[in-house]
Structure formats: structure tokens, C-alpha cells
Structure 1
Amino acid sequence: MSESGSESELEPPQNEASKGTVVVTTMASDSHTWNLVFLQLLIEELGYDVVNLGPCVPDDLLVRECRDIAPEMVVISSVNGHGYQDGMRVISRLRAVDDLAATPMVIGGKLGIAGGEDAAHIEELMAAGFDGVFQDGVSGVADFRKFIETAPAKGRELAAASERRRLSAANASG
């Protein structure tokens, strides 16, 4: 916390070499933490600061923190097998926030309780608004690393294009 006491305790210190901030979280039903620690270390190794929201994160808290932090990316991890169900619910809430519309968001881990869920789960999560889906046993760490190395630039491009459209529409109507 800063001397003024106004800085959020969840905001990481920004170092000069940082590529930005990534939010790492589970969802309300998932109490696992080891996955979050692994993800945090991996993402930090790739040059990002990480805000780790921890386990059992209620939807409202996740949305509020992502809106306040304005991260380069949001990474949601599931170990309890409810990733598909919880992911479908939470992505619409995150995407409904204008400031997060172009933010890259991924979900990974155990997406269902049976394991080895079919490709329909992945396709549905992508169609609902996730930019990447990394299912246990299907996608590996190398796939995730590759995504992280390219996704924020794509998100910034989408945000810039959206801002240009907004300004163009405002100029046309004004």
C-alpha cells in the first residue's frame, strides 16, 4: 500500500521490465491454490507482473478487480472439474465490461468432472468469449506459453480498433 493508503493491496509493484499485469484466478467453486502459484511463477518468468486473486473468487470480485486493475490478460484456472460450467457463467460478466472487451482471457485446467471433455466444450467456451482454452490432457504448457507471448499485443490491437470505431462513430454523429 502506498503512503497515501489509496493504492489497492492487490496491485503488484511495476518494474521497468514488466510487460504489464496479468490477473490469475480460480472461480467461486474452486478452492485449489497450487495451480495458481504455478501459473503466477510461469507468467512472471515471461516478464509480467501478476495479481493472484487466489481461490474461491466470487464473480463480482473477479469482475471488479479486473475492471480496476485493467490487466493485459486474465488467466482463469480450474482444478475441481467445473471449469466449463463456471467459465461459461463468468466470461459473459467479464466481457460485459467495456474496458475488458478486448482483454485477452483464457481458461484452463480440468474443464469437466469426467476428464477428457469433448471438443464441444472448448468450442463453446471460445464462442462465449474466451481467447484461449487449455484443457488438461489436450493442451500443454508450451501451448499456453505461446499464447501468452502473443495475446496481449492482439488485445491492444483489438482495443485500438474498437477505439477508432468509437471515435469515428462519434465524429459522424456530431
Structure 2
Amino acid sequence: MPVPGGMSVVVTSVASDSHTWNLVYLQLVLTELGHCVRNLGPCVPGRLLLDECRRDRPDLIVVSTVNGHGLLDGTRLIADIRRCPELAATPVVIGGKLGVRGSDRQRREWLLAAGFTEVFEETGAAAVLPFLARLTESVLR
């Protein structure tokens, strides 16, 4: 659903990640920026995410993970999203703790090559703001 001045955003985690505060924080930040946010919560099965996104057709999907399995779970998730014709062009970002051994440039490149629009590894919200501003401008044109 279109939002005047903002995007419709789905916030989720990977299926193996039960952390919730990261999702709540993202929801609050995105809402403060004027976006309409639907938070699917932790441990979201890929099929549920696909079904909800097919129904809502968000402008952006934000995947946040804290457990260190973002590379593996995220790669599977983005493959499913990109295979779905209704979601194939939807911008999808992933961020948080994507591996168990600190940040890694190869991990970022792998996730971008797999189909993520952008990757934010262990960065604060400030790193995401320029990306959101550019995307919001392009979506609302």
C-alpha cells in the first residue's frame, strides 16, 4: 500500500533467528522516517515471508539478523524471493551479524551476488539512512 512521503516496508528476520529487539528498533526508526512498516517478527519461515510480501507488495524488504547465520539463511531466502515473479524486482536488504567471525568483505559480495540490493554488516542505523533516502526518492517518483 502506498504511503504519502514514505515507502511500505516489511521488516523480518531469517528463519533461524529469534532475536526481536533489532526488529523493533528497525521498525521504530523506519516509522520515524515516515515509512509504513509491517514487522513480521523473528523466526519467519521463508514461505510465510513470500506469502505476506506477495499480498502486501512492499516497496522494500528489510532482513535483520543477529545470530550470525545471515550468510547461509539469507542466501536461501533471497533465492526464494528472486524466484517469485511478484517480488523479483523488489529491493531487499540484509543487515546485522551475517557470520560468526566478524565482518567480511567476501560475505558482503556473496550476498550482493546472490540478489540482495544492499548489505549492511554490523553497522549502525546511520549507515542505512543515505540508502533509504535514495530508495525513497526513486520509489515515490
Residues 1:48 and 2:35 are matched in the alignment? yes
CA offset digits 1:102-159 (Å, max 9, x no partner) = 211100000001222x2110001001110110001xx3322211111112454689xx
Residues 1:141 and 2:128 are matched in the alignment? no
Residues 1:92 and 2:79 are matched in the alignment? yes
The higher relative CO (CA closer than 8 Å, separation ≥ 6) is in 2
Deviation at 1:17, TM superposition (A): 3.6
RMSD across aligned positions (CA): 2.0
Equivalent residue for 1:129?
115
Residues 1:119 and 2:105 are matched in the alignment? yes
The answer on whether the counterparts of 2:62 and 2:94 sit within 8 Å (CA) in structure 1 is: yes
Unpaired runs of 5+ in structure 1? 1-13, 158-174
1:16/1:36 CA distance change after superposition, 3 Å: closer
Number of corresponding residues: 141
The answer on whether the counterparts of 1:73 and 1:152 sit within 8 Å (CA) in structure 2 is: no
Residues 1:83 and 2:67 are matched in the alignment? no
* Partner secondary structure for residue 120 of structure 1: helix
The structure with the largest alpha-carbon Rg is 1
Unpaired runs of 5+ in structure 2? none
Equivalent residue for 2:23?
36
Q: TM-score, normalised by structure 1?
A: 0.75
Deviation at 1:94, TM superposition (A): 0.5
- Which residue identity is paired with 2:127? D
Deviation at 1:51, TM superposition (A): 0.5
1:93/1:154 CA distance change after superposition, 3 Å: farther
* Equivalent residue runs for 1:61-76 within 5 Å: 61-76=48-63
